[in-house]
Amino acid sequence: MRTNRGIQVLALIGLLGAAPAYAEWSVNVQVERFRWKEEISPPPEVTETGGRAGFGWSWQMDGDVGFRARYRGTLYAGSIKYQGQTFTGTPAQGTTDYAGIVNELQALYRRAPDAWLQVVAGVGFDYWQRTLPSTSQREDWAVWFTRVGVETGTWTKRGFFAGVGAKYPIYTNENAHFMDAGFDQNPELRPGRELSAYAELGYRLSPAWKFTGYYDSYRFAQSPNVHLTSGSSAFIAWQPRSSMDVVGLRIDYYF
């Protein structure tokens, strides 16, 4: 991750640390069923499925009407079953290790205190490392994304709530560490951007406890080609069209 991106994320967290006392804070734990797919021709395609876990934190301004701010952050990791191929097209199976962090700042708007829906719009930064221990193949992904959606019931202290909307990656960067795989250069890959969906459904058991089932996703179009050499041999590489789907359960504790 480049230094300026890290500074931006740290600055966001610092601003939230100075938030006013009338905000609501929470910490959470989550477990996920994760799936990653890369559309490769000729096959085999790359598929990864398995479990991930994480913990997070959130902050939200109190208020019954108008605009409010909300911040969410999460650290996550997991070991995922891998089936597919290596850089050179050799079929491979094994385990992929994931580790990442996501930070997101959202704006909420509710027209009236008794309004049934509120609108949410957000921008976030998601950074993760993806490693195949059996081949030492590694990728670092950096994604700036935005979301727009609607929510109902999330401002109540008890009861059901739901949310649905769309996400879009406004900036993508992939460091595939080509030189570690024996190439002479390490050009950046820029996966394309496609719209994806998210949703959540849950229950606020009390002012202190909230349970949320959620679905999250990314869609990336195929990246432009990059040119590589290894000695006197020339190669072309790209990131195939890729998709990520996550189904999870999150438990929040508010204080």
Kindly list the distances between the CA atom of residue 73 and the CA atoms of 16, 38, 57, 200, in Å, as whole numbers in the listed order.
11, 27, 5, 17
Give dist(CA 139, CA 75) in Å, integer.
18
pLDDT in tens, the chain (255 residues): 444 555 455 445 444 444 454 688 999 999 999 999 999 887 889 999 999 999 999 999 988 889 999 999 999 999 999 998 766 677 888 899 999 999 999 999 999 888 889 999 999 999 999 998 777 789 999 999 999 999 998 777 899 999 999 999 999 999 999 998 889 999 999 999 999 999 999 999 999 999 999 999 999 999 999 999 999 999 999 999 999 999 999 999 999
Overall size of the chain counted in residues: 255
Domain boundaries, the chain: 3-254
User: What is the rounded radius of gyration, in angstroms, for the C-alpha atoms of the chain?
Assistant: 20
Return all residues near 120 (Cβ < 8 A) that are at least 6 apart.
Answer: 70, 106, 107, 108, 147, 148, 149, 150, 151, 163, 165
Does the predicted TM-score (pTM) go above 0.85?
Answer: yes
Instruction: Note if the bond before 224 is cis, omega within 30 degrees.
Output: no
Q: Which CATH number fits domain 3-254: 3.40.50.2300, 2.60.120.10, 2.30.290.10, 2.40.128.100?
A: 2.40.128.100
Q: Which amino acid is at 227?
A: H
Contact residues for 143 (Cβ-Cβ < 8 A; gap 6+)? 125, 126, 127, 169, 171, 172, 173, 218
Q: Tell me the torsion sign for CA atoms 95, 172, 217, 25.
A: positive
Q: pLDDT for 107-124, tens place per residue?
A: 999 998 888 899 999 999
Query: How far is the CA of 109 from the CAs of 64, 113, 120, 209, 219, in angstroms?
Result: 10, 11, 7, 23, 27
